[in-house]
């Protein structure tokens, strides 16, 4: 089936704007504004505002997550929009346009746009047309693509792939948010004894890997990429011989709606200031042991991973 006239603006009207109106309504109400005043600022009916205020905000977060917008980013943007709308309608439009353009320029909306319109699989228009970091995002996408090719061409790499599969994340420029971290949607999986990426790399594709990488970058800003691998005593011995600086997380358990590895790393970084090249997550109840390798770029971590896999297979 052929599609025509498929601008990303449809995502603004159908997904982004309803979610943001919901969160901005809550923010303005918390500041003491009446429903009548909020409806005037948002340009919607008072009945719509009443529905926003009575609805669970998780609905809005769910809508925005389809565009790779995290809850933290959504709350930040809602604060900016609420303040701008109180200043003037023009400031509101200007702020909304800036937020949307930055989101498009980061590539965060690409996955949802392509899901709706598969014929746009090769489209990179938004990366080229919007946002000051579009060049950095495009470079990171290209870099991750090359790194994935290295993994896919290695016959040994599958030997160190965990059951949860692999992902490789790379920061675009001086990335500070998940929407500026490029990774593989659907991860890298085992297919006929070889590694295979499910989809091409995209910005905002992995919340978990993004959080791990951003935490590491808060300590070591030159580390731009990371990859997760299986962990067992055999791989631990290889890491010890490799000379890589290792940071180890103790065993921990997972709870619903929680990223236990991220929380464990946050606690570890507060207690241990040493830099590291590899993070060993010993896992626990509901969590498979993994090791995360870090490096200055996607190609570097892929090269290190292949080298470890060759040593692991030969041992």
Q: What is the mean pLDDT of each run of 10 residues along the chain (315 residues)?
A: 68 92 94 93 94 94 92 84 82 80 82 86 78 74 93 96 96 81 93 92 87 90 96 94 92 67 87 92 87 96 97 90
Residues 170, 251: one domain? yes
* 143 lies in the same domain as 269: yes
Residues 175 and 222 both lie in one domain: yes
Q: How far is the C-alpha of 3 from the C-alpha of 280, rounded, in Å?
A: 47
Nearest to 181 by CA among 238, 224, 124: 224
Per-residue pLDDT tens digits for 34-64: 999 999 999 999 999 999 999 999 999 999 9
pLDDT at 38: 95
Domain that holds residue 307: 134-314
Q: Do the domain assignments include residue 293?
A: yes
User: Rounded to two decimals, what is the model's pTM?
Assistant: 0.63
What pLDDT does 257 receive? 46
CA distance 31 to 82: 9
Gap between the Cα atoms of 254 and 282, Å rounded: 13
Residue 187, phi-psi category: left (phi > 0), alpha (psi -120 to 50), beta (remainder): left
- Based on the fold, state whether residues 169 and 304 are members of the same structural domain: yes
Q: Do 73 and 185 lie in a common domain?
A: no
**pLDDT for the residue 1:** 41
Q: How many CB atoms lie within 10 A of CB 193?
A: 8
pLDDT, residue 175, reads: 80
Mapped onto helix, strand or coil, the DSSP state of residue 194 is strand
CATH number, domain containing residue 212: 3.40.225.10
The pLDDT of residue 178 is 75
Instruction: Report the alpha-carbon distance of residue 150 to residue 1 in Å, rounded.
Output: 35
What domain count does the chain have?
A: 2
One domain, residues 77 and 200: no
d(C-alpha 72, C-alpha 254), whole Å: 21
Residues 66 and 191 in one domain: no
Residue 201 falls inside a structural domain: yes
């Amino acid at each position: 089936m052929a599609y025509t006239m498929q601008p990303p603006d449809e995502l603004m009207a159908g997904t982004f704007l309803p979610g943001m109106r919901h969160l901005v309504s809550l923010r303005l109400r918390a500041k003491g504004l009446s429903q009548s005043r909020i409806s005037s600022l948002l340009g919607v009916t008072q009945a719509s505002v009443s529905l926003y205020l009575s609805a669970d905000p998780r609905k809005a977060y769910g809508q925005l997550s389809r565009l790779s917008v995290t809850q933290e980013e959504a709350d930040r943007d809602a604060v900016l929009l609420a303040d701008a709308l109180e200043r003037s309608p023009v400031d509101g439009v200007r702020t909304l346009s800036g937020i949307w353009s930055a989101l498009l320029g980061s590539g965060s909306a690409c996955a949802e746009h392509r899901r709706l319109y598969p014929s746009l699989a090769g489209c990179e228009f938004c990366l080229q047309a919007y946002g000051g970091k579009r060049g950095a995002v495009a470079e990171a996408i290209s870099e991750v693509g090359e790194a994935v090719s290295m993994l896919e061409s290695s016959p040994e790499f599958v030997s160190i792939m965990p059951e949860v599969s692999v992902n490789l994340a790379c920061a675009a420029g001086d990335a500070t948010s998940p929407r500026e971290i490029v990774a593989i949607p659907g991860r890298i999986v085992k297919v006929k004894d070889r590694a295979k990426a499910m989809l091409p790399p995209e910005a905002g594709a992995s919340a978990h890997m993004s959080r791990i990488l951003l935490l590491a970058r808060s300590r070591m800003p030159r580390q731009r990429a990371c990859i997760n691998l299986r962990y067992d005593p055999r791989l631990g011995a290889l890491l010890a011989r490799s000379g890589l600086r290792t940071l180890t997380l103790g065993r921990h358990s997972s709870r619903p709606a929680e990223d236990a590895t991220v929380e464990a790393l946050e606690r570890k970084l507060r207690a241990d200031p040493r830099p590291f090249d590899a993070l060993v997550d010993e896992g626990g109840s509901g969590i498979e042991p993994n090791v995360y390798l870090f490096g200055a770029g996607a190609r570097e971590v892929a090269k290190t991973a292949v080298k470890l896999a060759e040593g692991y297979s030969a041992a």
